[in-house]
């Protein structure tokens, strides 16, 4: 044994190729397997150290008179042979051992340790004459040192440690009782105390190792369980996203067709009662559009297609515009909607900040039954834009949950008039996207205050006057190709666009459209295509194919009911103008007017548009604004 061997750390793996094969699945087997791994890892150093120590001891003894050369030489040779036996067994363990052979290897190792202990124990009584007490003391010191080293090297596996300790240390006390004098008896007592102490120390060390290994494997099992639970949760989230995307797409299709039919009916001659019913239908469709828009907001944020573009602007005009839009609703409920003037300019994304504030003001008006809603600003190192209300308030335990998706306070019946519970989730994610901290203070029965902290700008540039766009009455007509695999949408789009004065060709696929335009002498002025068509065909490839047919960069418009984040990202990166189903007729008309009047370089309608990457200065849209 080595006189002071150190055990290697248990944390981490080893490069040995057989290590994985040596890990049984049972908890007890895993602990025992790791004990043997530590044992065989420390054995080479410990055995070589003990062998060198034994050879040095033999050399020192041979320098003194009265020591038998044959006895010492034989003892040293046997010690070397046993040491090499240990090394060969270690080689077998690391190279060819299998889990089924571990008990056999452990037994052989213990037997070799027993033989080594017998050799050291025999040396303590046979190597020197009883009259040479000083040489006996030398042998005892070295033997004790070897036993101490065995506590570290062999302590991970108690049978091997005890197999060496007792045979090495107990022969001398037996000899001292039979043949020793007073000094030998004293050494005998010290020897026995040493054996008891080392046996107890080895046991405690082994128990500590076993406990550490058990905790280690319990932690590994716990981590595996946590990882599996995490993977299951992520898979459930992906399944939910796929379900919502599929359900949203399938529901958007008929709603989109209904919107187109309603737009076409607006141009029909109807009596007053019919127009009133038509208005109610239009309101219901608009409510559905709002629900779909909330789902689209989350999908856009998940897809990473919403980016913050900070610029300096005055905050008061934005707040005033929002308050003006909610004045009528507040007046119907009999509550005051107050805005405190603020002359400061802020540095933020005006579109995203407006969406955040609109959600906060909308919620404040919706959940306040009496009193007032105040929108004001508080100046500090940053500008805190705050929305105060005198509503019911939010209990402390609910104040973090209201920012979760699909969670609504006080809407256990899931009243659709109160939305889907995505508004504040979107607000929080937009605030994080802009790096503008969001805060909430509320007391039940006293009301709430939401605040968003925005950087203050030194000055805001003058806003240029908006360029006049094409008016509704001066709408340019043209030949429009519509590709959509839904028959109802084809019919609705043809009726609506024809009522606006356009010539329309509809088809359900790129191939069918190519067949129809083959006999048309006129080049189309605009292509409108659904993003997801049948048989794996998509709108991007269809538009590109039709453009290549005419060898012209014909203005094009993608319309999609898909909310899957990866598809939203792909559609946005295509560079084509992108609108989302269900699409309000006014937005569709504005988009068509701009594309026909300005070609590919257009200003998209506020809310939904995504322009070609080559359109400089094109405005962006906030999530859900269309």
Tell me: the pLDDT tens digits for 354-408? 888 988 898 888 888 888 999 999 998 999 999 999 888 888 777 677 776 655 6
Asked if pLDDT for residue 9 goes beyond 60, the answer is no
Domain-ending residue, one of 394, 422, 454: 454
Tell me the CA distances in angstroms from 124 to 72, 73, 136, 171, one per residue in order: 11, 15, 7, 8
> Could you tell me whether strands 336-339 and 372-379 are parallel, antiparallel, or unpaired per DSSP bridges?
parallel
Give the pLDDT confidence score for residue 7 in this predicted structure. 36
Are both 419 and 560 inside the same structural domain?
A: no
Tell me the CA distances in angstroms from 488 to 323, 366, 441, one per residue in order: 39, 36, 49
Tell me: the pLDDT tens digits for 151-170? 878 878 888 888 888 888 88
For residues 169 and 197, what is the distance between their CA atoms, to the nearest angstrom? 12
Give the pLDDT confidence score for residue 28 in this predicted structure. 65
Are both 282 and 213 inside the same structural domain?
A: no
Burial of 182 (C-beta count, 10 Å sphere; 0-12/13-18/19+): exposed
Where residue 97 falls among pLDDT bands split at 50, 70, 90? Answer: low
Instruction: Indicate whether 240 belongs to any domain.
Output: no
For residues 273 and 282, what is the distance between their CA atoms, to the nearest angstrom? 14
For residues 66 and 179, what is the distance between their CA atoms, to the nearest angstrom? 18
Instruction: Indicate whether 243 belongs to any domain.
Output: no
Of residues 417 and 607, more confidence is placed in 417
Give the pLDDT confidence score for residue 249 in this predicted structure. 61
Instruction: Indicate whether 154 belongs to any domain.
Output: yes
Contacts 24+ apart (CB under 8 A), 263-268: 263/496, 263/499, 263/585, 263/588, 264/492, 264/495, 264/496, 264/499, 266/585, 267/499
Are both 193 and 213 inside the same structural domain?
A: yes
Are both 186 and 122 inside the same structural domain?
A: yes
Instruction: Indicate whether 537 belongs to any domain.
Output: yes
Instruction: Indicate whether 462 belongs to any domain.
Output: no
Provide the Cα torsion 38, 43, 46, 51; round to 10°. 170
Give the pLDDT confidence score for residue 288 in this predicted structure. 65
Are both 393 and 532 inside the same structural domain?
A: no
Burial of 297 (C-beta count, 10 Å sphere; 0-12/13-18/19+): buried
Instruction: Indicate whether 256 belongs to any domain.
Output: no
Asked if pLDDT for residue 422 goes beyond 70, the answer is no
Where residue 506 falls among pLDDT bands split at 50, 70, 90? Answer: very high
Task: Report the candidate in 589, 616, 588 with the shortest Cα–Cα distance to residue 602.
Answer: 616
Other C-beta atoms closer than 10 Å to the C-beta of 422 total 23
Chain-centre distance for alpha carbon 592: 41
Are both 207 and 350 inside the same structural domain?
A: no
Give the pLDDT confidence score for residue 283 in this predicted structure. 67
Give the pLDDT confidence score for residue 180 in this predicted structure. 67
Are both 318 and 377 inside the same structural domain?
A: yes
Asked if pLDDT for residue 474 goes beyond 60, the answer is no
Of residues 252 and 595, more confidence is placed in 595
Cis omega (within 30 of 0) on the bond before 582?
yes
Averaged over 93-97, what is the pLDDT?
76
Are both 559 and 436 inside the same structural domain?
A: no
Could you write out the DSSP letters of every residue in 38-94? HHHHHHHHHHHHHHHHHHHHHHHHHTSTT--HHHHHHHHHHHHHHHHHHHHHHHHHH
Provide the token pair at 70. 């044959």
Asked if pLDDT for residue 21 goes beyond 70, the answer is no
Domain-ending residue, one of 227, 244, 279: 227
Domain holding 372: CATH number?
3.30.565.10
Are both 571 and 613 inside the same structural domain?
A: yes
Report the chain's mean pLDDT, rounded to a whole number: 76
Are both 107 and 155 inside the same structural domain?
A: yes
Are both 354 and 502 inside the same structural domain?
A: no
% pLDDT > 90, the chain: 5
Tell me: the pLDDT tens digits for 36-82? 888 888 888 888 888 888 888 888 888 877 778 888 888 889 989 98
Averaged over 325-353, what is the pLDDT?
88
Domain holding 281: CATH number?
3.40.50.2300
Instruction: Indicate whether 260 belongs to any domain.
Output: no
Domain-ending residue, one of 422, 454, 486: 454
Instruction: Indicate whether 615 belongs to any domain.
Output: yes
Domain span including residue 505: 266-302+476-626
Provide the token pair at 141. 């010191």
Tell me: the pLDDT tens digits for 225-283? 889 888 888 888 777 766 666 665 666 667 667 776 776 776 677 777 877 777 777 66
Averaged over 320-339, what is the pLDDT?
88
Tell me: the pLDDT tens digits for 126-137? 887 766 777 777
Check the CA dihedral 43-49-53-58 and report its sign. Answer: positive
Are both 51 and 132 inside the same structural domain?
A: yes
Least confident of 145-149, 180-184, 426-430: 180-184
Give the pLDDT confidence score for residue 377 in this predicted structure. 92
Asked if pLDDT for residue 609 goes beyond 60, the answer is no
Averaged over 308-324, what is the pLDDT?
87
Asked if pLDDT for residue 417 goes beyond 60, the answer is no
The total domain count for the chain is 3
């Amino acid at each position: 044994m080595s006189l002071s061997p150190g055990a290697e750390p248990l944390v981490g793996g080893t490069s040995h190729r057989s290590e994985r094969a040596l890990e049984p699945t049972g908890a007890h087997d895993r602990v025992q397997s790791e004990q043997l791994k530590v044992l065989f890892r420390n054995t080479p150093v410990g055995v070589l150290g003990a062998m060198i120590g034994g050879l040095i001891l033999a050399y020192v003894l041979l320098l003194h008179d009265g020591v038998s050369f044959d006895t010492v030489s034989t003892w040293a040779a046997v010690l070397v042979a046993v040491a090499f036996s240990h090394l060969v067994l270690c080689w077998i363990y690391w190279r060819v051992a299998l889990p089924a052979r571990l008990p056999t290897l452990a037994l052989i190792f213990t037997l070799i340790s027993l033989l080594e202990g017998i050799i050291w124990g025999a040396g303590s009584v046979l190597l020197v004459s009883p009259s040479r007490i000083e040489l006996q003391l030398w042998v005892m010191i070295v033997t004790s040192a070897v036993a101490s080293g065995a506590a570290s090297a062999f302590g991970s596996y108690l049978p091997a440690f005890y197999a060496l300790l007792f045979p090495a240390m107990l022969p001398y006390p037996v000899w001292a009782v039979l043949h020793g004098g007073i000094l030998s008896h004293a050494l005998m007592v010290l020897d026995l105390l040493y054996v008891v102490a080392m046996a107890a120390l080895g046991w405690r060390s082994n128990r500590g190792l076993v406990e550490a290994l058990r905790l280690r494997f319990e932690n590994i099992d716990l981590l595996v369980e946590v990882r599996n639970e995490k993977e299951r949760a992520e898979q459930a989230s992906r399944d939910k996203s796929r379900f919502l995307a599929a359900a949203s797409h399938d529901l958007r299709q008929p709603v989109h067709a209904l919107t187109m039919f309603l737009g076409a009916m607006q141009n029909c001659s109807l009596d007053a009662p019919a127009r009133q019913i038509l208005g109610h239908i239009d309101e219901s469709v608009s409510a559905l559009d709002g629900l779909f828009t909330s789902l689209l907001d989350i999908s856009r944020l998940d897809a990473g297609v919403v980016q913050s573009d900070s610029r300096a602007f005055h905050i008061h005009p934005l707040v005033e515009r929002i308050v003006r839009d909610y004045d009528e609703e507040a007046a119907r409920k009999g509550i005051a909607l107050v805005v405190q003037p603020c002359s400061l300019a802020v540095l933020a994304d005006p579109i995203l900040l407006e969406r955040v504030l609109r959600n906060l003001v909308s919620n404040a008006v919706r959940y306040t039954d009496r009193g007032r809603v105040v929108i004001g600003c508080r100046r500090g190192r940053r500008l805190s834009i705050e929305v105060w209300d005198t509503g019911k308030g939010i209990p402390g335990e609910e104040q973090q949950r209201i920012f979760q998706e699909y969670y609504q306070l006080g809407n256990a019946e899931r009243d659709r008039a109160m939305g889907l519970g995505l508004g504040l989730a979107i607000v929080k994610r937009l605030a994080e996207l802009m790096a503008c901290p969001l805060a909430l203070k509320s007391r039940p029965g006293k009301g709430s205050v939401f605040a968003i902290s925005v950087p203050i700008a030194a000055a805001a540039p003058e806003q240029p006057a908006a360029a006049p766009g094409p008016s509704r009455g001066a709408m340019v007509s043209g030949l429009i190709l519509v590709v959509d695999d839904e028959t109802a949408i084809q019919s609705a789009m043809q009726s609506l666009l024809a009522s606006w004065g356009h010539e329309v060709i509809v088809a359900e696929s790129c191939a069918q459209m190519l067949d129809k335009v083959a006999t048309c002498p006129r080049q189309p002025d605009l292509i409108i295509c659904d993003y997801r068509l049948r048989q794996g065909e998509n709108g991007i490839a269809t538009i590109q194919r039709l453009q290549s047919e005419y060898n012209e960069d014909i203005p094009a418009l993608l319309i999609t009911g898909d909310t899957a984040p990866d598809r939203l990202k792909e559609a946005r990166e295509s560079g084509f103008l992108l609108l989302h189903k269900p699409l309000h007729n006014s937005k569709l008309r504005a988009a068509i007017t701009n594309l026909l009047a300005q070609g590919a370089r257009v200003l998209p309608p506020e809310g939904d548009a995504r322009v070609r990457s080559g359109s400089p200065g094109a405005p962006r849209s906030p999530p859900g604004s269309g």
